[in-house]
Amino acid sequence: MPDVDLTGRTAVVTGGVRGVGAGVSRALLDAGADVVAVARRAPEALPEAGGRRARFASLDVRDATAAAAFCAGLPRLDILVNNAGGTPFLPAADGDARTHAKIIELNLIAPLIMARAARDRMLATAGGGSIIMIGSVSGTRPSPGTAAYGAAKAGLASLAASLAVEWAPDVRVNTLTLGMVRTERSHLHYGDEDGVAAVARTVPLGRLADPGEVGAACAFLASGLAGYVSGASLLLHGGGERPAFLDAATVNSEENP
């Protein structure tokens, strides 16, 4: 099996300076790509790997005009990883409507804006391009407390599948559907180390994903090894979640197979 080789390709990673995005930037650098890490504010340090460092570009990915100008100004563009996103914990009946709308804007509308801008630049690049949407299991199951986010991520997977048909054969579009990933901000979601460990025990593989593993999957999807993969949703969730009814059931499986 050949190694993933992205030498000579240019990749844009939105939200690519910290957390999952930094892991993606490092993996693409390690595979040989030139990486532009996009965020609104410059980080203290940029992702590095393979003796090279990502470049930084300040951009509000919700601004269609700015996104179009940014992509048009790149010497070439082969890979877009739509990673920027996120949500606070906010039950659907709480907060104001605008806050929920902004969550959907960041997690669904912004990836569409970036994908459209990237496609125009990719069509001028020999070999076309690859767009990877960073999705979430929140879009495949109920997402109480983050309903707008879950709805946006469900829409993101649908968007990717549609774009894969509309933009074929020049641009491949796929979704990487994430479960829980351990980052420097995990404590905000899961608490202290005991909390993280307790959450990890709910995952069949017994741990949270590492950002580097997300990056490795992105590098694969962007490479020639995935040249016939488009319109797909790749689950990266450690086996998913154990159904709650299995722990609640009182049926004796030996007597009632």
Task: Provide the residue-wise pLDDT of the chain in tens; the chain has 257 residues.
Answer: 468 999 999 999 999 999 999 999 999 999 999 999 999 999 999 999 989 999 999 999 999 999 999 999 999 999 999 999 999 999 999 999 999 999 999 999 999 999 999 999 999 988 899 999 999 999 999 999 999 999 999 999 999 999 999 999 999 999 999 999 987 666 556 767 877 888 888 899 999 999 999 999 999 999 999 999 999 999 999 999 888 888 888 765 555 55
What is the pTM assigned to this prediction?
0.92
> In the prediction, which pLDDT does 1 show?
45
- Given a contact cutoff of 8 angstroms between Cβ atoms, the answer to whether 83 and 16 are in contact is yes
Clarify whether 190 is annotated catalytic: no
Question: What is the predicted pLDDT for the residue at 73?
Answer: 98
What pLDDT is recorded for position 188? Answer: 58
Look at residues 47, 51, 52 and name the one whose alpha carbon lies nearest to residue 81: 47
Residue 87 to residue 236: CA distance in whole angstroms: 20
Looking at residue 146, its pLDDT comes to 97
The CATH H-level (homologous superfamily) assignment of domain 10-240 is NAD(P)-binding Rossmann-like Domain (3.40.50.720)
Strand partners, 180: none
User: Per the residue annotation, which of 36, 115, 135, 149 is the catalytic one?
Assistant: 149
* Exposed / middle / buried, residue 58 (Cβ in 10 Å: 0-12, 13-18, 19+): exposed
